[in-house]
């Protein structure tokens, strides 16, 4: 969007850039039922003003980045509801407009709070399948198939004026390669963020070193990292990436609970000793920054309060510096 710096230009100005947290958590807190294949994209159809409210809450908490409600918003997904391709693209553009309006409203009251950026969320093909496969990466498409699936949404987000694209919760090395090609086709800056099998591998089993090698040195790749992962996997994943790339790193893990993709419910992180990782985002932020994370936010089940706590850590560390 005109007048806003690129993400790569913003990073050198700050030791740590705070991103936003979960959208779904906050929409559910406002009464939205997201038990639906469209997930938070469903709210674009029903109560879009609530999405803008959530974006404003995160800006107020100290986030510099708002991620659009387009993670699961695809023409193919909307078509299942009988929504035309043109209308689907309008809804994807709406997700950008809502985030931009929230930014403008926040800056109207606090002009010194900028710059603030809008990231166009692009979820993986597995998110469209709505069967938990974004945590497995066990689906197969050709390179052309992945490009054809993602291209309409990428085009709509770029045309609507996002500052950069957030390719997120990616479980598949092949899909990441196709998305890299699209970022180059549209000449748009992007970050690439992956789901994990363990601290050294993305969900389809590809080593993080190979992922870093794919993206390292690419002009349109502003950052690479992990999201929608347990807290205890963040540090080893960042360490593995840091050994393989000089690209800025990012991390926005889940709250600390575990997700069951079969029942689509959250519960205690059974079998994951607390000693293996921090208790929450606030407790992990400083260590993740030391490991090279330049962007830190939250994913599922995190809230504006969590983001405010991370922002507080940042301010304290800047004060000590």
Residue of 251, 262, 245, 208 whose CA lies nearest to 227 = 251
Quick check: helix, strand or coil at residue 47? coil
Q: What pLDDT does 22 receive?
A: 94
C-beta separation of 226 from 196 below 8 A: yes
Which CATH number is associated with domain 7-320? 3.20.20.330
Q: What pLDDT does 259 receive?
A: 64
Six-digit token string for 12:
């050198």
How many percent of the chain have pLDDT more than 70? 92
**Averaged pLDDT, 83-102:** 96
pTM score, two decimals? 0.93
Q: What pLDDT does 270 receive?
A: 53
More confidently predicted of 203 and 15: 203
Round to whole Å and give the CA distance between 208 and 33: 35
Round to whole Å and give the CA distance between 14 and 6: 13
Domain boundaries, the chain: 7-320
């Amino acid at each position: 969007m005109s007048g806003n710096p690129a993400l790569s230009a913003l990073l050198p100005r700050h030791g740590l850039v705070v991103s936003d947290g979960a959208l779904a958590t906050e929409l559910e807190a406002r009464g939205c039922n997201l038990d639906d294949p469209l997930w938070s994209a469903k709210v674009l159809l029903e109560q879009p003003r609530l999405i803008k409210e959530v974006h404003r809450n995160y800006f107020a908490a100290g986030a510099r980045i708002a991620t659009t409600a387009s993670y699961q918003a695809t023409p193919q997904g909307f078509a299942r509801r009988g929504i035309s391709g043109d209308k689907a693209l309008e809804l994807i553009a709406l997700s950008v407009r809502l985030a931009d309006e929230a930014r403008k409203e926040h800056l109207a009251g606090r002009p010194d709070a900028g710059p603030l950026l809008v990231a166009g969320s692009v979820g993986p093909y597995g998110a469209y399948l709505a069967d938990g496969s974004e945590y497995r990466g066990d689906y197969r498409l050709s390179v052309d198939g992945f490009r054809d699936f993602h291209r309409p949404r990428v085009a709509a987000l770029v045309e609507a004026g996002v500052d950069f694209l957030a390719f997120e919760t990616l479980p598949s090395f092949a899909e990441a390669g196709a998305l890299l090609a699209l970022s180059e086709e549209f000449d748009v800056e992007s970050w690439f963020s992956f789901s994990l099998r363990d601290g050294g591998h993305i969900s389809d089993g590809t080593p993080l070193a190979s992922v870093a090698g794919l993206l390292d040195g690419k002009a349109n790749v502003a950052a690479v990292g992990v999201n929608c992962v347990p807290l205890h996997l963040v540090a080893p994943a960042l360490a593995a990436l840091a050994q393989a790339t000089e690209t800025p790193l990012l991390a926005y893990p889940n709250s600390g609970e575990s997700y069951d993709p079969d029942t689509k419910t959250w519960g205690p992180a059974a079998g994951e000793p607390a000693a293996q990782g921090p208790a929450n985002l606030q407790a992990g932020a400083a260590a993740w920054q030391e490991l090279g994370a330049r962007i830190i936010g939250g994913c599922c089940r995190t809230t504006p309060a969590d983001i405010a706590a991370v922002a507080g850590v940042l301010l304290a560390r800047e004060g000590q510096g």
